[in-house]
Amino acid sequence: MLWVFEQALAGGVKAVQLREKDLGGRELFRLAERTKRLCDRYGATLFINDRVDVALAVEAAGVQLGTASLPIEVARSLLGAEKLIGASIHSLAEGQQAEKSGADFVLFGPVYYTPSKAMFGAPQGVAALGKIVETLSLPVFAIGGITPDNVVALRGLGISGIALISAVINAENPQAAAQEMIRRLRS
């Protein structure tokens, strides 16, 4: 896992979300410590999925909360104003609620089909992503099924970036895959 993170960071990735739902607290904390050191070495930002306690313990930049996570207001009271809170959203209504509740940014998706997000229903599509960006004042990141072939369709929408897993993790060369995704998104 850390090897892939390091390759992605070497390829230009600027933020990592540590999302290990199957690990116990002690194991997650230890992995988060190592991931934080790696992120610090590359000047990247670390977010911890759901676990405010672990984010605080390793001095991560913040947390990424899902619809079944702690309420944003509770996380904010624990984290304070200086830490960042991201909210995963699947609709405009969820985005508006996240904004009202004090999220710092949102991840919207799935934009395209991906097995890891199939439980959230059909892909939302580029038009829905554009509507989210137009409506919310928060930074919006696209997630779900983003590949080198479809990332170019996201340019010009006003998104703040993309979040992805399989396009880098499943690549034979994660560093080159990260570099290519960044190049295609920017060019």
CA distance 18 to 35: 8
Mean pLDDT of the region 67-73: 95
pLDDT at site 187: 81
Mean pLDDT of the region 106-127: 87
Task: List the 140-143 sheet strands across, edge first.
Answer: 15-18, 45-49, 62-65, 84-89, 105-108, 140-143, 161-163
pLDDT confidence of 117, banded at 50, 70, 90? low
Mean pLDDT of the region 141-159: 95
- Positive/negative CA dihedral, 125, 127, 128, 134: positive
Q: 60-64, 108-112, 165-169, 178-182: lowest mean pLDDT where?
A: 165-169
Question: 86: phi > 0 → left, psi -120 to 50 → alpha, else beta; which?
Answer: beta
Q: Is the pLDDT of residue 9 over 70?
A: yes
Q: Is the pLDDT of residue 120 over 90?
A: no
Structure pTM? 0.94
pLDDT at site 116: 72
Q: 30-34, 59-63, 146-150: lowest mean pLDDT where?
A: 146-150
